[in-house]
Amino acid sequence: MDFTHEIEKRKTFAIISHPDAGKTTLTEKLLLFGGAIRQAGTVKGKKGGKFATSDWMKVEQERGISVTSSVMQFDFDGYKINILDTPGHEDFSEDTYRTLMAVDSAVMVIDAAKGIEPQTLKLFKVCRMRGIPIFTFINKLDRVGKEPFELLEEIEETLEIETYPMTWPIGMGPSFFGIINRKDRTINPYREEEKLTLDEDYELKESHPIAEDEAFQTAVDEFMLVEEAGDAFDRDKIATGDLTPVFFGSALSTFGIEEFLDTYVDYAPMPTPRRTKEESQVSPTNEDFSGFIFKIQANMDPRHRDRLAFMRVVSGKFTRGMDVTLARTGRKTKVNRATMFMADDTETVNEAYAGDIIGLYDTGNFQIGDTLYDGQKVDFEDLPQFTPEIFMKVSAKNVMKQKHFYKGIEQLVQEGAIQYYKTVHTNQPILGAVGQLQFEVFEHRMKNEYNTDVIMEPVGKKIARWVENEDAITDAMSTSRSNLVLDRYDNQVFLFENEFAMRWFSEKYPEIKLYTLL
Rounded to whole angstroms, the Cα distance separating 197 from 181 reads: 9
Percentage of the chain lying above the pLDDT 70 cut: 88
pLDDT exceeds 60 at position 212? yes
Annotated binding site: 17-24, 85-89, 139-142
| DSSP letter for each residue of 410-426 | HHHHHTTSSEEEEETTT
8 A C-beta contact, residue 388 and residue 419: yes
In this predicted structure, what is the pLDDT of residue 155? Answer: 93
Task: Report all structural domains of the chain as residue ranges with CATH numbers, in order of start.
Answer: 3-36+64-267 (3.40.50.300), 274-374 (3.40.50.300), 390-515 (3.30.70.3280)
In this predicted structure, what is the pLDDT of residue 299? Answer: 62
**Which runs of consecutive H residues, i.e. helices, occur in 205-316?**
214-229, 235-240, 257-267
| DSSP letter for each residue of 80-124 | EEEEEE---SGGGHHHHHHHHTT-SEEEEEEETTTBS-HHHHHHH
In this predicted structure, what is the pLDDT of residue 48? Answer: 39
In this predicted structure, what is the pLDDT of residue 93? Answer: 62
In this predicted structure, what is the pLDDT of residue 42? Answer: 38
Rounded to whole angstroms, the Cα distance separating 311 from 290 reads: 10
**Helices and strands (H, E) in the chain, number of each type:** 12, 31
Rounded to whole angstroms, the Cα distance separating 182 from 5 reads: 30
Q: Which range is least confidently modeled, 120-134, 240-254, 459-473?
A: 120-134
Residue 122: partners with Cβ closer than 8 Å, 6 or more residues away: 90, 93
Residue 503, Cα to own-chain centre: how many angstroms?
36
Q: Rounded mean pLDDT of the chain? A: 87
User: Which conformational region is residue 171 in: left (phi greater than 0), alpha (psi within -120 to 50 degrees), or beta?
Assistant: left
Q: Which range is least confidently modeled, 215-229, 300-314, 431-445?
A: 300-314
8 A C-beta contact, residue 71 and residue 357: yes
Q: How confident is the model at residue 467 (pLDDT cuts 50, 70, 90)?
A: very high
Mean pLDDT across 194-212:
90
Mean pLDDT across 214-224:
93
Of residues 55 and 246, more confidently modeled? 246
pLDDT exceeds 60 at position 223? yes
pLDDT exceeds 70 at position 187? yes
pLDDT exceeds 50 at position 47? no
8 A C-beta contact, residue 10 and residue 80: yes
Rounded to two decimals, what is the model's pTM?
Answer: 0.82
Asked whether the CA dihedral 145, 149, 154, 156 is positive or negative, the reply is positive
Rounded to whole angstroms, the Cα distance separating 289 from 314 reads: 8
pLDDT exceeds 60 at position 250? yes
Burial of 268 (0-12, 13-18, 19+ CB in 10 A): buried
pLDDT exceeds 90 at position 230? no
8 A C-beta contact, residue 353 and residue 321: no
Q: How confident is the model at residue 67 (pLDDT cuts 50, 70, 90)?
A: very low
Rounded to whole angstroms, the Cα distance separating 54 from 36 reads: 12
Rounded to whole angstroms, the Cα distance separating 351 from 3 reads: 11
First to last CA, the chain: 41
**CB 410: neighbour CB atoms within 10 A?**
13
pLDDT exceeds 70 at position 337? yes
pLDDT exceeds 90 at position 437? no
In this predicted structure, what is the pLDDT of residue 399? Answer: 87
Q: Pairing between strand 105-111 and 79-85?
A: unpaired
Mean pLDDT across 488-498:
95
pLDDT exceeds 80 at position 236? yes
Burial of 184 (0-12, 13-18, 19+ CB in 10 A): exposed
Q: Where is 295: in which H helix or E strand?
A: strand 290-298
In this predicted structure, what is the pLDDT of residue 216? Answer: 93
Asked whether the CA dihedral 438, 444, 448, 452 is positive or negative, the reply is positive
Q: What is the identity of the amino acid at 233?
A: F
pLDDT exceeds 90 at position 339? no
In the three-class reduction of DSSP (H, G, I as helix; E, B as strand; rest coil), residue 202 is classed as coil
Torsion of CA 63, 65, 70, 74, to 10 degrees: 110
Annotated binding site for GTP: 17-24, 85-89, 139-142
Q: Report how far apart, in Å, the C-alpha atoms of 59 and of each of 115, 132, 438, 445 are.
A: 28, 31, 11, 9
Q: Report how far apart, in Å, the C-alpha atoms of 317 and of each of 7, 153, 284, 338 are.
A: 9, 43, 9, 14
Identify any residues that bridge with 371 across adjacent strands, giving them in sequence order.
Answer: 292
pLDDT in tens, 82-137: 998 776 556 556 777 888 899 999 999 999 999 988 777 877 887 888 889 999 99
Rounded to whole angstroms, the Cα distance separating 318 from 7 reads: 12
In this predicted structure, what is the pLDDT of residue 41? Answer: 42
Q: How confident is the model at residue 72 (pLDDT cuts 50, 70, 90)?
A: confident
In the three-class reduction of DSSP (H, G, I as helix; E, B as strand; rest coil), residue 5 is classed as helix
Mean pLDDT across 377-395:
90
Q: How confident is the model at residue 65 (pLDDT cuts 50, 70, 90)?
A: very low
Rounded to whole angstroms, the Cα distance separating 348 from 497 reads: 50
Of residues 347 and 470, more confidently modeled? 470
Q: How confident is the model at residue 435 (pLDDT cuts 50, 70, 90)?
A: confident
| DSSP letter for each residue of 357-383 | EEEEE-SS---TT-EEESSS---BPPP
